[in-house]
Amino acid sequence: MTGQDHAASAKADGDESVGEKPRDGEHWLVIDGRRWRRTDPELADEVAAALRSHLGRARAAVRTAKKGGDEEALREARSRVGLAKTGLGERGPRWWEEPIAERRRRAAEALQSLADD
């Protein structure tokens, strides 16, 4: 049984905290020798997509603020980038070391905060 099969079986049994931990290669993405944390694979597709949408818009706002020399807008945009990345599990606590319910709660809170702005 693969790690994904084991996790799926645990979910079917109603125990979302049980499952093999992903291998190290599943936690990180390496691009040009630099290691980046992957998005939490347990997030619902629609939640992850919404957070990525907010992330893209926040990154665009960072570029705009930099071009315009607006330090306040830059701080706000960078804060939104950080919030989206934390919701995705790419910043903050390592998602693979936390219970799934906590990870999903953090993503939902980040999404709500981003939607409120």
pLDDT, position 67: 97
Q: How many domains does the chain have?
A: 1
Question: pTM value?
Answer: 0.76
Helices (H), the chain: 3-12, 24-27, 45-68, 71-88, 100-116
Please state, in angstroms and rounded to a whole number, the distance separating the CA atoms of residues 9 and 115.
34
Contacts of 16 (CB under 8 A, 6+ apart): 10, 99, 100, 101
Instruction: List per-block mean pLDDT (blocks of 10 residues) for the chain, which spans 117 residues.
Output: 38 41 70 92 95 98 98 98 97 94 97 91
| Domain assignment of residue 70, given as a range | 3-116
Q: How many CB atoms lie within 10 A of CB 11?
A: 14
pLDDT, position 26: 83
